């Protein structure tokens, strides 16, 4: 699984396209000086499928194209995110590998299926992975997430309520250098996130910001912000449909059934009973310490108190795991002794499940896209086996799941990519 927060191979193709437009040859095909009238210079952007001694096969939007290599073919390696070729380094044909993103410029054949490569610009898949890891680590170290409860566009601030440990507000300042992105409606794919101005952020949105916080932890000027409208759902499964990849959940928050689509990008996990009980004990202790009335099992079913706060990883996350004595252990986690365990890491260590593993009557929690015109939602993260969590402290349970842990191009945190 690749990363929500990092430039994936599709993102690198956009980089290569930008280099194409910014380069000396800014059209798809043009006459080459000194060439015959029937010879054209074309550009192809795609990913390497196979590598042969004298050619590479490229998967491009128009299909597969073979690029022939010669002794005069110039091959340059650029890093993900590069805006020009100033730092490009020459490499050899044998350095090309399947999965690398490439832009090939050369003489195209009449049928468009082959191209005699004059120049190849390549972004190595290994460089993409390294960049993903660096940014993933930085999001873990300097990221903060929560539910938007105030937007002041004139002051350039967003106030979020962090849901890790004791709830508190964090003021996120937006500067002229802040990169703002927003998820496309109905999408769980970070590659679909588009640049979006501050006025598109709404109260109730989930938001992640990356920056260095002030010593008191209540203020930051964001380097990067990603926001989106997501829906938290918790309840019992009332029906499953393997043919259409959907489950119907009776939502305790809305007190109504909702059809949840399980896509290829959906993360589906199931808590073992003993692990669910241990997490529930931690949640109950934390809820009681914070005066959460839902810590009382009677209140949990009668007075659901939803929380949409995203996982706060403003400090290095704990490597939470189950020890021999049945307790959770960590190494510097974000929560205190009574706080929830580092749940994203717990999820990352669970085996993946499928819709076939879900049954009528199972208690589930999930983060999903907002409702579509058809009335259904698409699961981003769905967790089954959560009845002990909902009974222990329902409102705190909702905040455990984060929409930032999944997309087709990646997942922030240990669940990634």
Tokens of 16: 């290569």
**Model confidence over 23-65: pLDDT tens digits?**
443 334 444 444 444 457 899 999 999 999 999 999 998 899 9
pLDDT in tens, 70-84: 999 999 999 988 888
Point out the domain boundary residue: 229, 252, 279. Answer: 229
Mean pLDDT lowest among 37-51, 236-250, 330-344: 330-344
> 3-class secondary structure for 2-27?
CCCCCCCHHHHHHHHHHHHHHCCCCC
Q: Looking at the structure, do residues 52 and 24 belong to the same domain, yes or no? A: yes
Pair 217, 237 in one domain: no
Q: Are residues 396 and 301 in the same domain?
A: yes
Quick one: 260 and 220 in the same domain? Answer: no
* 413 inside domain: no
Domain contains 293: yes
Residues in the chain, overall count: 417
In a domain, 250, yes or no: yes
Do 265 and 150 lie in a common domain? no
Q: What is the token pair recorded at 54?
A: 């004298």
Query: Which is it for strands 194-195 and 179-182: parallel, antiparallel or unpaired?
Result: antiparallel
Interval 213-234 mean pLDDT: 86
Task: Give the torsion through C-alpha atoms of 337, 205, 81, 176, to 10 deg.
Answer: -100
- Residue 305's pLDDT is 34
Domain co-membership, 257 together with 363: yes
Contacts with 238 (C-beta within 8 Å, 6 or more apart), sequence order: 248, 249, 250, 257, 360
Q: Looking at residue 393, what is its pLDDT? A: 61
| Residues 85-106: tens digit of each pLDDT | 888 999 999 999 999 999 999 9
pLDDT tens sequence across 141-150: 888 888 899 9
Q: Is residue 336 part of a domain?
A: yes
What is the pLDDT at residue 307?
Answer: 36
Q: In CATH, what number is assigned to the domain containing residue 170?
A: 2.40.50.320
Q: Residue 167, class by beta-carbon neighbours within 10 Å (0-12 exposed, 13-18 middle, 19+ buried)? A: middle
Average model confidence (pLDDT) across the chain? 75
By CB neighbour count within 10 A (0-12 exposed, 13-18 middle, 19+ buried), where does 10 fall? middle
Report how many domains make up the chain: 3
| Range ranked top by mean pLDDT from 116-125, 144-153, 224-233 | 116-125
Q: What is the pLDDT of residue 243?
A: 94
- Domain end: 229, 260, 280, which one? 229
Q: Residue 191: what pLDDT?
A: 65
- State which of 284-288, 315-319, 407-411 shows the largest mean pLDDT: 284-288
Residue 357, Cβ density class (10 Å: 0-12 exposed, 13-18 middle, ≥19 buried):
middle
261 and 401: one domain? yes
Phi and psi of 23, rounded to 5°? -80, 180
Domain range for 66: 9-123
pLDDT digits (tens, 9 = 90+) for 288-307: 665 554 444 334 333 333 33
* Whether residues 119 and 142 fall in one domain: no
CA distance 291 to 269: 30
- What is the distance between the alpha carbons of residues 369 and 373, in angstroms, rounded to a whole number? 12
């Amino acid at each position: 699984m690749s990363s929500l927060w990092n430039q994936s191979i599709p993102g690198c193709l956009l980089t290569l396209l930008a280099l194409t437009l910014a380069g000396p040859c800014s059209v798809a095909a043009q006459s080459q000086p000194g060439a015959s009238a029937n010879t054209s210079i074309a550009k192809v952007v795609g990913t390497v499928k196979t590598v042969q001694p004298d050619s590479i096969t490229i998967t491009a939007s128009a299909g597969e194209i073979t690029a022939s290599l010669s002794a005069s073919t110039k091959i340059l390696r650029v890093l993900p995110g590069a805006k020009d070729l100033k730092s490009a380094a020459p490499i050899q044909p044998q350095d090309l590998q399947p999965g690398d993103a490439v832009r090939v410029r050369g003489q195209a054949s009449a049928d468009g299926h082959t191209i005699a490569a004059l120049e190849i610009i390549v972004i190595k898949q290994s460089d993409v992975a390294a960049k993903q890891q660096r940014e993933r680590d930085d999001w873990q170290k300097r990221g903060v997430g929560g539910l938007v409860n105030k937007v002041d566009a004139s002051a350039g601030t967003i106030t979020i309520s962090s849901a890790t440990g004791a709830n508190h507000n964090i003021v996120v300042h937006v500067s002229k250098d802040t990169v703002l992105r927003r998820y496309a409606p109905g999408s769980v794919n970070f590659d679909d996130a588009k640049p979006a101005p501050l006025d598109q952020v709404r109260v109730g949105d989930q938001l992640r910001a990356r920056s260095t916080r002030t010593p008191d932890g209540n203020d930051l000027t964001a380097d990067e912000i990603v926001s989106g409208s997501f829906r938290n759902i918790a309840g019992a499964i009332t029906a499953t449909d393997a043919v259409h990849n959907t489950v119907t959940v009776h939502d305790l928050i809305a007190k109504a059934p909702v059809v949840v689509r399980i896509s290829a990008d959906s993360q589906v996990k199931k808590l073992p009973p003993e692990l669910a009980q241990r997490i529930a004990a931690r949640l109950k202790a934390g809820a009681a310490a914070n005066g959460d009335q839902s810590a009382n099992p009677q209140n949990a079913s009668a007075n659901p108190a939803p929380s949409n706060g995203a996982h706060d990883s403003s400090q290095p996350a704990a490597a939470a795991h189950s020890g021999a004595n049945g307790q959770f252990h960590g190494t510097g986690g974000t929560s205190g002794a009574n706080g929830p365990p580092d749940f994203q890491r717990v999820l990352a260590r669970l085996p993946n499940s499928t819709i076939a593993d879900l049954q009528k009557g199972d208690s589930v929690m999930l983060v999903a896209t907002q409702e579509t015109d058809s009335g259904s939602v698409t699961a981003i993260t769905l967790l089954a086996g959560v009845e002990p969590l909902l009974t222990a402290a329902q409102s705190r349970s909702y905040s455990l799941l984060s929409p930032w842990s999944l997309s087709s191009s990646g997942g922030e945190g240990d669940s990634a990519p």
